[in-house]
Amino acid sequence: MSDVRLAEAAHAVPAHHEEIGFWRTYVFSTDHKMIGRQFYFLGLVMLIIGGFLAMMMRWQLAWPETAVPGLSWVSEPTLYEGIIPPQTYNMLFTMHATIMIFFVIMPIMVGGFGNFLIPLMIGARDMAFPLLNMLSFWLGLVAGVVMLASFFVAGGAAASGWTAYAPLSAKAVFTGVDWGQNLWIISLIILGLSSLMGAINYITTIVNMRAPGMTYFRMPLVIWSLFVTAILLLLALPVLTAALAMLLFDRTLGTSFFLPEGGGKPLLWQHLFWFFGHPEVYILVLPAMGVTSDILSVFSRKPIFGYRAMAFSMISIAFLSWIVWGHHMFISGMNPYLGTAFMMTTMIIAIPSAIKTFNWLGTLWGGSIRFTTPMLFALGFVSAFVIGGLSGIVMASTPVDIFIHDTYYIVAHFHYVVAGIIFAMFAAIYFWFPKMFGRMMNETWGKIHFFLTFIFFNAVFFPMHFLGIAGHMRRIYNPLQYEFLQSLQPINVFITVSAFLLALSQIIFVVNFFYGLFAAKKVGNNPWQANTLDWSVPSPPSHGNFDALPTVFRGPYEYSSPEVTEDFLPQDRRLATDPTTV
Amino acid sequence: MLRWLPENVSTFGAEIDSLLYLTYYITGAVFILVTVLMVLFLVMFRHREGRRAVYSHGNTTLEIIWTVIPAIILLVLAFMSVSTWTKVKANAPPSDFNLQVTAKQFNWEILYPGPDGKFGTPDDFKVDNEMHVPVNKVVRIILKSKDVIHSFFLPNLRLKQDAVPGMEILVWFEATKTGKYELPCAELCGFGHSGMLGWLYVDTPEDYEKWVKENLSQS
């Protein structure tokens, strides 16, 4: 019932809004599309910073304790005439992970594309709570500023890993980092609030504001993925926020939640962190899966294979993600019988992921495949996800994990999954660029960008499996300190050179991006001939999105339908056989 | 890829390695299958003028097949892992050779019970970062930490266990070959984490006795 009322109320909103000034259009905007773009630009800027931190780490790993070129001006104790000290190295990997996870993937995929796409794709004029949406962005920005500020306080930024295992993170004396770690905690608490606001908004909007005829099972899979992600965010983030507050109390107020000398338990932190942290992995990867599903269908000109199985596999991944966290803790000192139980659940969660992969292949089968830039990147995501998923099975086996835990095998695995999301992110950027900015990025340079990124991505992360199998520990500052790692140094050099080339390849993207923003040719409503509602409105869509709210007659993937001569059939196009109302 | 594995010198290491080989070959085969199919489909079904994509929403039978087969393989893998895991982590065999290892920033303190075989007596002796054990002998270690979490890692013995402050964790191994093996810390433990390194010396019983005598006379 409330569905109908809200949809009617939305119908009553006038299509043309009053003129609003610069500040309310671009800065304190309540328009979901502008807020989406704000998150998106925040993420892209942070991507450059996070990437730069990774390049510094790679320098140290290939040529340990030599001066990083061009950085001799950085003052001590951060660098010593350009040489990275161990303490700074620990800050680099801590902040690289924190920034990439919380300030790149989440803002771009969830904050950016989530905001931009949800109302457009379900046929709504805006989010359910536009003001809350604006607040969500501004809190996110404050969190980002606080996080970056932590580099500049005495003692430097957090250096206890993004997992911040207590007691290392719980007492300043253990790392020598004081306010850096406190600001890290505060920033993530603020960001948690920001994400919570977004999650509530997404869920409310999707439940209540779908256009007439847009049933749950006519929603594009990217909307399904964002819906499931929002539910995970809503349930997972309070756990992290509570754990972070306890950690802050241990650090500043003298409590002992995680400190054994006061009766606390170090493992409690790990349980709380990973109870949030494993759903978090799916918060990151589900939107990437959704984007990939949509793009594969569009450019195969073919319905997605097994739509309902795709939606249900995301739902089951979400459920299962709550009962697998212990696989991060097999060797933590947790009861070994608990480890066995977590191994079972972890094996089970691989099943819905396998279903998704096979259904993507099924979508390609019989298609009429167009190798556009977004399609190439979506295929790149599938390929990376296959490798990341399969290596996950290897480490799910508890005895095998005894050896490969905390080695570069793990680093390879989670970069194939989490850094692999960058392929889906680029797919989404290239695919929705015309809708977001009204112009088309250059396709040829887009494809060159794809091939270079794909080659160097694999050249960086695939050899890390070899390092891991050889026992190379993660988070070590200088591999040459260990005899058994000496012979592996050429691999480290190879990875570093590939990483630099991967970074340089992104210059093509940056140039193409700015060319696309300002100089490329303008496009019409539907340059890709896609079916979803976002392509039925002008590029970029005006304030309020739709002149009249659309009515939806069919699912989102009716490509090559025999009902029409062209190979696509938009969701809101009424055929003679369709009912006049829904 | 597996040729990079360090040499195994523990009794249970071969079981761990064989599970690693098994999962590696299964996942490797799936990787090749998926990649070949993907490339094949991309070539076969590339866009050509005049050909329209197949209008199909899926095939339930196929979906059931590719749900059930992976499920069976995964569960079999899980069940195959249980016995090795329980053997290494839950069922330490009895032994009269006991040690205590206490991790601290950034050293391993190895405590020997001395000739009376009991800890907490005056003949205990402590060595930093150097652990001597006899070959072919079950070694039981109580693992502790003084400050933060460390991880006791013996790559050649396929053994890793976090040392957690406030906990006493029992680990065990039996080395099958004499030699000198590295004992790095595998869990980030602060600025000196990299380079926190001990050595395990697996000695013949005679060499081991000799070493014990030298250390006892020093302490």
Residue A160 near chain B (CB below 8 Å): yes
Summarize the confidence of residues A117-134 as an average pLDDT.
Answer: 97
How much is the average pLDDT of A345-372?
A: 96
Residue among A361, A484, A560 minimizing CB distance to B182: A484
At A1, is the pLDDT very low, low, confident or very high (cuts 50, 70, 90)?
Answer: very low
> Chain A contacts of B36, Cβ < 8 Å?
none
The predicted-structure confidence for B154-191, as pLDDT tens digits, reads as follows 999 999 999 999 999 999 999 999 999 999 999 999 99
- Residue contact A168–B2, C-beta within 8 A: no
Q: How confident is the model at residue A74 (pLDDT cuts 50, 70, 90)?
A: very high
Measure the CA dihedral A536/A537/A538/A539, to 10°: -80
Residue A129, pLDDT > 70, answer: yes
CA distances from A577 to A212, A554, A563, A580 (A): 18, 12, 10, 9
**Per-residue pLDDT, A24:** 82
Distance CA A258, CA A246 (A): 8
Distance from CA of A107 to the nearest CA of B (A): 28
Chain B residues with beta carbon closer than 8 angstroms to that of A337? 90
Asked whether the beta carbons of residue B184 and residue A482 sit closer than 8 angstroms, the reply is yes
Residue window 505-524, chain A: list those with CB within 8 Å of chain B: none
Q: How would you classify residue B97: left for phi > 0, otherwise alpha for psi between -120 and 50, otherwise beta?
A: beta
What's the gap in Å between the CA of A294 and the closest CA on chain B?
A: 14
Peptide bond into B94 cis (omega under 30): no
Cβ pair A90:B191 closer than 8 A: yes
Q: What is the pLDDT of residue A28?
A: 87
**ipTM (interface pTM):** 0.96
pLDDT for residue A274 is more than 80: yes
CB contact under 8 A, B166 and A331: no
pLDDT at A14: 47
DSSP A14: -
Of B4, B34, B74, the CB nearest to A469: B4
Mean pLDDT on A112-126: 97
Mean pLDDT for A11-38 is 77
Q: Cα angle at B42 between B37 and B44, to 5 degrees?
A: 90
Write out pLDDT tens, residues A18-29. Answer: 667 888 888 889
Among A260, A399, A477, the residue with its CB nearest the CB of B165 is: A260
Chain A positions in Cβ-Cβ contact with residue B63 (cut-off 8 Å):
306, 309, 355, 358-359
Interface contact A336-B85, CB threshold 8 A: yes
Q: Is the pLDDT of residue A107 over 70?
A: yes
Residue numbers of A between 442 and 501 with CB closer than 8 Å to B = 465-467, 469-471, 473, 475-478, 481-484, 488
- Partners of B170 in the β-ladder: B142
Pairing of strands B130-134, B138-145: unpaired
- How many angstroms separate the CA of residue B210 from the nearest CA in chain A? 26
Mean pLDDT of A473-486: 96
pLDDT per residue over B4-23, tens digit each?
A: 999 999 999 999 999 999 99
CB-nearest partner of B16 from A403, A465, A470: A403
Q: CA-CA distance, A218 to A231, in Å (whole number)?
A: 19
Taking the CA of residue A556 and the nearest CA in chain B, the distance in Å comes to: 12
Kindly tell me if the per-residue pLDDT of A133 is higher than 90.
yes
CB pair distance less than 8 Å for A160 and B188: yes
Give yes or no for residue B127 having a pLDDT over 50. yes
The long-range contacts involving A500-504, CB below 8 angstroms and separated by at least 24 positions, are: A500/A55, A500/A58, A501/A452, A501/A456, A501/A459, A502/A452, A502/A453, A502/A456, A502/A457, A502/A459, A502/A460, A503/A51, A503/A55
Distance from CA of B159 to the nearest CA of A (A): 6
Q: Which candidate, A233, A323, A339, places its Cα nearest to that of A274?
A: A323
- Rounded Cα–Cα distance for residues A365 and B34 (Å): 13
B115–chain A nearest CA distance, Å = 30
CA Rg value for chain A: 24
Whole-model pTM: value is: 0.95
Q: State the nearest Cα–Cα gap between A299 and chain B, in angstroms.
A: 9
Say whether A397 and B82 touch across the interface (CB within 8 A). Answer: no
pLDDT tens digits for range A399-426? 999 999 999 999 999 999 999 999 999 9
- pLDDT (mean) for A110-119: 97
Q: Which residues of A touch B89 (CB under 8 A)?
A: 336, 339, 398, 402
Tell me the two tokens of residue B73: 């393989």
Over residues A346-366, mean pLDDT: 95
A464 vs A452: CA distance, rounded Å? 19
Share the mean pLDDT of chain B.
95
Question: Nearest 5°: phi and psi at B122?
Answer: -65, -20
Cis omega (within 30 of 0) on the bond before A167? yes
B139 in Cβ contact with B174 (< 8 Å): yes
Mean pLDDT of A92-115: 97
Mutate to test the interface with A, among B48, B57, B150, B151 (most CBs of A within 10 A): B57
CB contacts, 8 Å: A364 with chain B? 38, 41-42, 45
Q: Do the Cβ atoms of B71 and A394 come within 8 Å?
A: no
pLDDT of residue A204: 98
Residue of A555, A302, A299 whose CA lies nearest to B55 = A302
pLDDT at A580: 76
CB contact at 8 A, B150 and B162 = yes
What residues in B contact A320, CB-CB < 8 Å? none
Residue B64 confidence (pLDDT) above 50? yes
pLDDT at res. A18: 60
Distance CA B27, CA B23 (A): 6
Q: Please provide the average confidence, as pLDDT, over all residues in chain A.
A: 94
Q: What is the pLDDT of residue A12?
A: 47
Asked if pLDDT for residue B219 goes beyond 80, the answer is no
Segment A295-316, tens digit of pLDDT:
999 999 999 999 999 999 999 9
More confident residue, A579 or A491: A491
Strand partners, B162: B151
Mutation site for A-interface testing, chosen from B17, B33, B191 by largest number of A Cβ within 10 Å = B191
Upper half-sphere CA count for residue B103 (Cβ side, 13 Å): 34
Instruction: Give the torsion through C-alpha atoms of A556, A560, A566, A572, to 10 deg.
Output: -20
Considering the segment(s) A33-69+81-573 as one domain, its CATH architecture is Up-down Bundle (1.20)
Greatest alpha-carbon pair distance for chain A in Å reads 76
- pLDDT of A193 above 80: yes
Separation in Å, CA of B154 to nearest CA in chain A? 9
How many CA atoms, within 13 angstroms, populate the side-chain half-sphere of residue B59?
14
Residue A4 is predicted with a pLDDT of: 46
pLDDT range class, residue A2, cuts 50, 70, 90: very low
Beta strands in chain B, from DSSP E residues, in sequence order: 98-104, 107-112, 125-128, 130-134, 138-145, 150-154, 159-163, 169-174, 179-184, 197-203
Predicted confidence at residue A17, as pLDDT, reads: 54
Question: Which among B118, B99, B116 has a CA at the least distance from the CA of B173?
Answer: B99
CA B66 to chain centroid, in Å, comes to 32
Three-class DSSP labels, A488-501: HHHHHHHHHHHHHH
Contact A485, A407 (CB under 8 A): no
